[in-house]
Chains A and B, each alone.
Chain A
Amino acid sequence: MLDDFFIRALIAGIGVAIVTGPLGCFVVWRRLSYFGDTLAHSALLGVTLAYSMEFNIAFSVFIISSLIALTLIQLQKRTNLPGDALLGLLAHSSLAVGLVVIGFLSFIRFDIMGLLFGDILAVTVDDLLIIWIGGALILLILRLIWKPLFASTVNYELAEAEGLNPDRAKAIFTILMAAIIAISIKMVGLLLITGMLIIPAAMARNISSSPQKMVIYSIIGGLLSVILGLFSSLEFNTASGPSIIAASLFLFILSLLNIKQSIKLKN
């Protein structure tokens, strides 16, 4: 019944959802949604670089996104511009430079729509390896820096005063963000990656009472979004990446209903 490519897509999507779940919680907690967007936009430059130099896409996106993230940290230190202005500056200029470079690469046929919105059905076995091995590494490192990262998310000065080295945790987290974008760009595309990070975590926030629960619900929400989205894209013949995000939006709306009920119960 199910074609091979569909199973590959499912396995890829599940791998990505398991990693975006916990990372997405930190994105929501630390108010980093626009930071995620900026890294994702800069990914276009990474993709064009990969094509022109015949690099692996995930690797080249990882390098470019990390560079953009480090540039941002430096700019924040050296200018008086507010954070959102710097994010906008980097996001749109790197997107623009990426598009300009594409113009020069007229000898390569580019699937721009696939880049922007992802093409999970074209996932290869190599991509699966990258997603699962890369994903496992990201989760392992996140587990290692969990305590300082979480403590400094709650309160930076407490974490610093009590010897947890929050700056290092933050720098490592930034690299992890670049890594998740690199491994999932082919799946949901650079315009929708942040959706995959934020929406399941936002849904989880509505129904959870502790940070651990929020992480677990966020993973479950991501998994359900992938499965629901992929099957409905097969059923209705819609684009798969957007279908996954739409499915997560659907779950988010359901979680809002849950809130209303519990408020009613309280009163």
Chain B
Amino acid sequence: MGSDQNLLVKLNKAGFSLNNKWLVKGVSLQVEKGKIVTLIGPNGSGKSTTAKIALGIYKKIDGSVEKYTNKVGYVPQKISIDWTLPLRVNDFMVLTESLDKESIDEALSLTGVIHLKDKNLGDLSGGEFQRVLLARAISKKPELLVLDEPVQGVDFTGEIALYELIKKISDELNCGILLISHDLHTVMSATDHVVCLNGHVCCSGSPMDVAKNNEYKALFGEQASQILSRYEHRHDHIHTDQGEIKKN
């Protein structure tokens, strides 16, 4: 009973095809309150597609999705905003839900962009915009957060701080997080459950289980699995060699 009440979204052998080509097929996973589920996999393996299936953006899907909450915060991987709109950061924050000034300021402060509040969205840098996107998603105190590479383009120190923030949010709000990340360090240090995708689910389980999996090694290479095994011994700090493992 208890675990059912905590369930936020559940994918049951879900798949999505476009122009007769499967982007992703047969994905089963579930996100529960207070848990962080991470999707990893090479480019084109269907991570973003899986996130969009979970969010209900794709409707004509194979299999099924059960969504038990409507309080969702989403940080998409790509976002194209039309600059024919005069839109300030403050307007963007209340895009999908009306918020009071305190909630807006709090979220912007947490991601370190409160000073940009009255700036035009088009004038922000990539990293600044990414921080605003994350602030918008958490400001509405969602039950389910879907973060598709939420720290892309953010400077390195900021990256660590934002991942810590994400972990903190998950604890404080007791919300479930579906995270897509290329950064295996983060995946290993903060995640409860890892799903490794390559058009289908290669393997899944706790970070340590996945690290030992042979399919995972085949997909990411020996180096990546070494990084993971290193984590078994040193959980307390993060190495700077992440650039090497991103490439595949």
Contacts and interface: CB of A to CB of B under 8 A. Distances in A.
Contacts of B49: none
Contacts of B57: 157, 160-161
Interface stretch (A6-14, A148-156, A172-180, A182-190): A148-156
Contacts of B187: none
A210 interface: yes
Contacts of A150: 95
A209 B123 CA distance: 12
A213 interface: yes
A213 B86 contact: yes
B88 A210 contact: yes
A143 interface: no
Interface stretch (B73-81, B153-161, B162-170, B240-248): B73-81
Contacts of B86: 205, 208-211, 213-214
A162 B97 CA distance: 9
Contacts of B172: none
A157 B74 contact: yes
Given A153-B85, A163-B72, A211-B86, A158 B95 contact: yes
Contacts of A163: 70, 72, 96
Contacts of A92: none
Contact of B88 (A159, A205, A209): A209
Contacts of A211: 85-87, 91
Interface residues of A, number: 24
A210 B196 CA distance: 43
Given A151-B96, A154-B92, A157-B52, A162 B85 contact: no
Given A151-B96, A210-B88, A211-B91, A158 B79 contact: yes
A29 B86 CA distance: 9
Contacts of B96: 147, 151, 158-159, 162-164
Contacts of A96: none
Interface string A204-225: 0100111101100000000000
A162 B95 CA distance: 10
Contacts of B120: 209
Given A151-B96, A209-B120, A211-B91, A161 B55 contact: yes
A31 interface: yes
Contacts of B102: none
Contacts of A159: 95-96
Contacts of A162: 72-74, 96-97, 140
A159 B140 CA distance: 14
B73 A157 contact: no
Contacts of A161: 52, 55-57, 72, 74, 76, 146
A19 B68 CA distance: 39
B82 interface: yes
Contact of A210 (B73, B79, B87, B140): B87
Nearest to A213: B86
Interface in A114-167: 147, 150-151, 153-155, 157-164
B225 to A, nearest CB: 33
A29 B73 CA distance: 24
Contacts of B84: 28-29, 31, 205
A31 B84 CA distance: 9
A162 B72 CA distance: 5
A141 B73 CA distance: 27
Nearest to A212: B91
Interface string A83-126: 00000000000000000000000000000000000000000000
24 contacts: A147-B96, A151-B95, A151-B96, A154-B81, A154-B95, A155-B76, A157-B55, A157-B74, A158-B95, A160-B56, A161-B57, A161-B72, A161-B74, A161-B76, A161-B146, A162-B73, A162-B74, A163-B70, A163-B72, A164-B96, A209-B120, A210-B86, A210-B91, A214-B86
Interface of A: 28-29, 31, 147, 150-151, 153-155, 157-164, 205, 208-211, 213-214
Given A147-B96, A209-B86, 8 more contacts: A154-B85, A154-B95, A160-B57, A161-B55, A205-B84, A209-B120, A210-B87, A214-B86
